[in-house]
Structure 1
């Protein structure tokens, strides 16, 4: 091969690498744009990073919109549970509570997550 062909190949590879870097750096993947398998994995990973006391806005910024949500007011306390899809159960095209991890908020502060959180919500 002559030197001109090798230079063209190297220039093409460099341009491709630059394009990939720019796309990854400036266009982060949003949970809303993921297919359901990627979203489940993303949600599982992000839920492990949660801290009790996080605000509802912080959680929504991290996980995106919930798949299912429920809320009620008890006296002066606003209680909300948000369900984020984390495991596949049935191939029916629907997201159900048994395919989700519940996150429990009291007055917009995260107080619990997991199956116990939803049971606590139901009993209160």
Structure 2
């Protein structure tokens, strides 16, 4: 009996060494991604609050990073570029859409406005 107990005590750590305990399931991933998009939105709002009219596209990209969406076209022989950065959550589907973004409007390479009104009035 002592040999059996000794064998069980010695082999128990070896048998348990491959066990993984998962607590919380998929919710752990959701809370991570939740905090990740919250941080991104907060950072983008803070950067947008410090923008100044007349800034170049490149200086804004250097400050803000890669936009979530980018549009460019000509209007009245002048180039118009709109960069969209995620600033608020609309759907919990894991995908960023334009309605979750703040548009930054550039004409001739210079920042002329941001927000929905600036986008609609271009």
In the superposition, the TM-score normalised over structure 1's length comes to 0.67
Residue 60 of structure 1 aligns to a residue whose secondary structure is helix
Shift of 1:97: 1.2
Aligned length: 88
* Structure 1 outlier segments of 4+, above 4 Å: none
Aligned counterpart, 1:117: 118
Q: TM-score, normalised by structure 2?
A: 0.68
Alignment gaps of 5+ in structure 2: 1-34
Q: Which residue of 2 aligns with 1:76?
A: 77
| Corresponding residue for residue 56 of structure 2 | 55
In our comparison, the structure showing a higher alpha carbon Rg is: 2
Q: Partners in 1 of 2:121 and 2:70 — Cα distance?
A: 15
Calculate the aligned-residue CA RMSD, in Å: 1.4
SS of equivalent to 1:92: coil
Query: 2:30 corresponds to which residue?
Result: none
